[in-house]
Amino acid sequence: MLAIDGRTGKLAWYNQVRQRDILNYDLQDSPILATAQIKGQARPIVIGTGKMGVVYAFDRSTGERYWETPVGLHQNDQLKELPPSEVVVAAPGFWGGIEAPSALADGVLYVVTANLPSPYTATAFDAHDGDEAVNKLEGHVDYASGNAEVVAIDINTGKIRWDIKLPSVSFASATVVNDLVFTATYDGVIYALARADGHIVWTYQAPGGIIAWPAIVGDTLVWPVGLGREPVVLALRLGAKGQTAQPAAHALPTPTVTAKP
């Protein structure tokens, strides 16, 4: 996590949460600013999340780390090196941890995890360069085996208030609307959960897979559905009477492949 003076561009402070990273654990999500009660005092904090599947809270002025909370599946994620000639399964995996932005409301942070383990080897399955390593690591991920969790965390203490599992992996964010938190899974199911305890209030099966999050316009939920033969944008509204047309299946031309000697 970096704090940079907006007037001068100088580094104010940094806090490196992981000293040695061999598993692609980026702290890549947009930071969230909040005010928390820390040891009985109101303190400005910044919250960081990423692929390591851990939520961090820092003092916004000094970078001091107040708390850290692991969420989702964790397995072999503290390795400092990979043993030669051995396959190691780690979680969070190559696509794992917290992939998308979280939501903050009334002192509670809502995060969505991607519980998707990945196999690793010391040579990335005999890759010759970085691009090939990425392709081989992606290709060894069993997406159907993944699932997701929606987790509510108290920003004052870092303690988990509730944790609800969803049956398919998720690369979508958490979005708060009034007393609900919305998210979606890779198989195209949209979920609305109660902020109070996480129970599922409503679901909707979209006509394709989802790896994005919605826009809220008045009483309308607008959600892009990008996976499938015909990507669509859905507009969902309470009391609406429209019908969602399912994309029709159609044949694709067979590609011509030239074999290399």
Task: Determine which helix (DSSP H) or strand (DSSP E) holds 149, and give its type and residue range.
Answer: strand 147-154
Q: Is residue 245 part of a domain?
A: no
CATH code for the domain in which residue 35 is found: 2.40.128.630
**What is the tens place of the pLDDT at every residue in 208-242?**
999 999 999 888 999 999 887 788 999 998 877 77
pLDDT at 5: 95
Question: What's the average model confidence in pLDDT over 8-23?
Answer: 93
**What is the tens place of the pLDDT at every residue in 163-211?**
999 999 999 999 999 999 999 999 999 999 999 999 999 999 999 999 9
Question: What's the average model confidence in pLDDT over 120-145?
Answer: 91
Q: Is residue 59 part of a domain?
A: yes
Rounded distance, CA 86 to CA 123, Å?
10
Q: Is residue 87 part of a domain?
A: yes
Mean pLDDT value across the chain: 91
Q: Is residue 189 part of a domain?
A: no
Domain count, the chain: 1
**Band (260; pLDDT cuts 50, 70, 90):** very low
Q: Is residue 116 part of a domain?
A: yes
Structural domain span for residue 151: 2-171
Q: Is residue 247 part of a domain?
A: no
pLDDT for 50 beyond 60: yes
Structure tokens at 134: 């990425």
Q: Is residue 36 part of a domain?
A: yes
- Please state, in angstroms and as integers, the Cα–Cα distance from residue 154 to each residue in 35, 47, 57, 107, following that order: 12, 12, 11, 6
pLDDT for 59 beyond 80: yes
Q: Is residue 240 part of a domain?
A: no
pLDDT for 261 beyond 50: no
**Band (20; pLDDT cuts 50, 70, 90):** confident
